[in-house]
A and B are shown apart, each in its own frame.
Chain A
Amino acid sequence: MDRRTIFGGQLLPALLVLPQLVLTLFFFYWPAAEAVWSSMTTTDPFGQGSVFVGLENFAELFSDPLYLQAILRTVGFCLAVSVLAMAVALLLAVFADREIRGRAIYRTLLIWPYAVAPALSAVLFLFLLNPQVGLIGRWLNRHGIPWDYHLDGGQALLMVVLASAWKQVSYNFIFYLAGLQSIPRAVVEAARMDGARGWRRFRTITLPLLAPTTFFLLVVNLVYAAFDTFGTIYAITKGGPGQATETLVIKVYRDGMINQDIGGSSAQSVVLMLGVIVVTAVQFRFMGRRTSA
């Protein structure tokens, strides 16, 4: 879809595109190349320099049960966060789409959490679920349900899932509401004439028409859960207790920045990059050009 009318000149456009190209080169391609390179090297035993080892780091990575567990955990975490955040958002959007008094106010009050930082949603959940300070955490302990996410891995995982999903509902809500509003009234009316009501109308008419939105949101939510939740998880649990909340990104950070295993961490980065590229390709294959912020 190129323009017919264009301006002449070669130097000006080159200058215009230069800042972005330079930044992209320095902060995307160079680090990516650096990651690929260090993923194939290892520090020599005397710590003097790096030795080329080919795909050894990758072989090591995929034979490490901790890494394989982290992959499974991340997949489970991402699915749980996405399904939860999307289901709640869809429910709220369906009701907010109805003709009721005060709907503009409801919408505003459901949209603002978009602005909450992932790390900050962790802090907010602390005051709900912390065993000593949190409103719900204290209540659980008082009523004979032992609750302490510092000790119990399952509870820690539940907490980071809830905090991560909570923050993402608004984003999904905005898109589902826009999706619902773009369903032609005629379609809804026709369904009503045919006697489809309530749940049946929702299942047979609304849900299929929202399928493109749902697919788009699924991709965005999975990517959000995989990457943007670093702040949420790191602020509450730092990946613990043990490895209970260690997603792939937390593991890259722990292995690379804290344990200084550059080769292993870089290999993990490369695997993640390939993962993102596959997801992006799938998205574009099925969706055409859609972008998220």
Chain B
Amino acid sequence: MKRGPDYVTHAVLILGVLLFALPVWLILAGATQDSDAIARGELSLLPDPSGLGIYARVLFAGAPGSQPVWHMLLVSTGMALAIAVGKIVISVLSAYAVVFFRFPFRQLAFWAIFITLMLPVEVRIIPTYAVMAGFGLINTFTGLWLPLIASATATLLFRQVFTAIPDELVEAARMDGAGPLRFLRDIALPVSAANVAALFVILFVYGWNQYLWPLLVATDPRLDTIVIGIVKLIGVENQTDWGAVMATATLALVPPVIVVLLMQRWFVAGLTEGEK
């Protein structure tokens, strides 16, 4: 059945694309314009190429009383990487132990981790703050990421992946004299590389996008992530430097979007795979 182009389909999809692209276009175009004009409500949809210097300004100078944006990007990157890598490492290790060994309290350990599956930090704000204070982790970089790397989701995923490794493969490796750690490094990890990649994207984005947690544990401006920084910038709406807000918002948006786009195939497969 050969037909001409399906105009309705294209129209719907283009509308959808615009629905997402429009707000981003607004900040891309707006960042290059004069802040006072924006404040007067004269935001134009056309960028002004001569205003590109705004990016250098927010990156290296920053708004009064706040860190330059390069520093916020550094904190955000550090936090997102630490969360992604940390979660993957401890989840791989614990899932490997639960799947490939029999040890006392194995089921108990698994369930203790499993039950925390859907208890986000949002539901235990005050008590977690108290515990953090007890450890002296308030206003430290460690405090930004360490408590967020314990989660059941990744452990469950790796448990599923490791359980699916064929027994023959394990037998063969053992015949060759591979111990448990070598098997993990040479076989179990390589066969789950696609899952690791997908999980990395999901966790990097999760870490980069944190707002409540850094708000809670870090009041020191030197620990401001870019997401915290941008919300601070719009805090005083009457005297906001709108151009700086838009440029900062663009810089906050770009890194996680690039990660998602670069690893799109693994990410989409990994996200939906566990659900079938």
Q: A148 to B220: give the CA distance in the assembly, Å.
A: 33
Say yes or no: A31-B150 contact (C-beta < 8 A), given A24-B113, A95-B12, A106-B17.
no
Q: Could you tell me if B212 and A21 are in contact, using CB atoms closer than 8 angstroms?
A: no
Q: CB-CB < 8 A to B19: which residues of A?
A: 88, 166
Q: How far is the CA of A16 from the CA of B95 in the complex (A)?
A: 9
Verify B272–A175 contact, CB threshold 8 A. yes
- Rounded to whole angstroms, the CA-CA distance of A123 and B128 in the bound complex is 28
Partner of A31, one of B27, B124, B242: B124
Instruction: Report if A273 contacts B (CB, 8 A).
Output: yes
Name the A residues within 8 Å of B203 (CB-CB): 293
Task: Verify if B60 is at the interface (C-beta below 8 Å from A).
Answer: no
Tell me, yes or no, whether B49 is within 8 Å of chain A by CB: no
- Contacts A92-B13, A124-B24; is A115 near B171 (CB within 8 Å)? no
Number of interface residues of A (CB under 8 A): 100
Chain A residue with the shortest CB-CB distance to B129: A257
Which B residues are in CB contact (< 8 Å) with A280?
117-118
Contact with B along A259-293 (1 / 0, CB 8 A): 00010011001001100110110000000011111
Decide if B93 touches A16 in the complex (CB within 8 Å): yes
Known: A4-B167, A280-B118. A257 touches B20 (CB 8 A): no
State A251–B52 Cα separation when bound (angstroms): 41
* A227 contacts the other chain (CB 8 A): yes
Expressed in whole angstroms, the Cα–Cα distance for A183 and B174 within the complex equals 41
- A291/B12 in contact, CB under 8 A: no
Q: Across the interface, do B117 and A256 meet the contact criterion of CB distance under 8 Å?
A: no
Nearest B residue (CB) for A275: B123
0/1 string, B109-142, CB within 8 A of A gives 1: 1001100111110111111111100010000000
Please name all residues of chain A whose beta carbon is closer than 8 Å to the beta carbon of B170 when the two chains form the complex. 3, 5
One of B12, B43, B131 near A91 (C-beta < 8 A)? B12
Contacts of B174 in A (CB 8 A): 5
Known: A23-B146, A119-B227. A28 touches B116 (CB 8 A): yes
Interface size on B, residues (CB 8 A): 108
Instruction: State how many angstroms separate the Cβ of B186 from the closest Cβ of chain A.
Output: 14
Query: A98–B113 contact, CB under 8 A?
Result: no
Q: Which of B13, B41, B103, B131 is within 8 Å of A14, CB to CB?
A: B103
On chain B, the residues within 8 Å of A68 by CB distance are: none
Contact B264 A111 (CB under 8 A): yes
Binds B, one of A69-77, A200-208, A229-237: A229-237
Within 8 A of B (CB), among A188-246: 213, 216, 223, 227-228, 230-231, 234-235
A222: shortest Cβ distance to chain B, in Å? Answer: 11
Does B59 count as interface, using CB distance less than 8 angstroms? no
A residues in contact with B20, CB < 8 Å: 109-110, 112-113, 166, 169-170
Q: Of residues A95, A253, A257, which shows the largest number of chain B Cβ atoms within 10 Å of its Cβ?
A: A95
Given known A119-B230, A269-B124, contact A231–B212 (CB-CB < 8 A):
yes
Q: Give the chain A neighbours of B216 by CB distance below 8 A.
A: 257
Distance in Å: Cβ of A288 to nearest Cβ of chain B: 11
Binds B, one of A51-59, A126-134, A152-160: A126-134
Inter-chain CA distance A273–B179, complex, in Å, is 42
Say whether A115 contacts B260, CB under 8 Å.
Answer: yes
Say whether chain A's binding surface is mostly helix, strand, loop, or mixed.
Answer: helix
Contact of A273 with B43 in the complex, beta carbons under 8 Å: no
Q: Is the CB of A6 within 8 A of B101?
A: yes
B23 within 8 A of A: yes
CB contacts (< 8 Å) of B41 on chain A: these are: 132-133, 138
- Contact A110 B16, beta carbon cutoff 8 Å: yes
Distance in Å from the Cβ of B202 to the closest Cβ of chain A? 4
A contacts, CB < 8 Å to B: 1, 3-10, 12-14, 16-17, 19-21, 23-32, 34-35, 38, 88, 91-92, 95-96, 98, 100-101, 106, 108-120, 122-128, 130, 132-133, 135, 138, 166, 169-170, 174-175, 178, 182, 213, 216, 223, 227-228, 230-231, 234-235, 249, 252-253, 256-257, 262, 265-266, 269, 272-273, 276-277, 279-280, 289-293
Give me 15 A-to-B residue pairs in the complex whose CB atoms sit less than 8 angstroms apart, sorted by A's number. A7-B100, A16-B96, A17-B97, A23-B147, A27-B131, A91-B12, A98-B9, A109-B20, A115-B257, A126-B234, A132-B41, A166-B23, A213-B275, A280-B118, A293-B206
- B interface residues, Cβ below 8 angstroms from A: 5-6, 8-10, 12-13, 16-17, 19-24, 26-27, 30, 38-39, 41, 43, 89-91, 93-94, 96-104, 106, 109, 112-113, 116-120, 122-131, 135, 146-147, 149-150, 152-153, 155-157, 163, 167, 170-171, 174, 179-181, 183, 199, 202-203, 205-206, 208-209, 211-212, 215-216, 227, 230-231, 234, 237, 242, 245-246, 249, 252-253, 256-257, 259-261, 264, 268, 271-272, 274-276
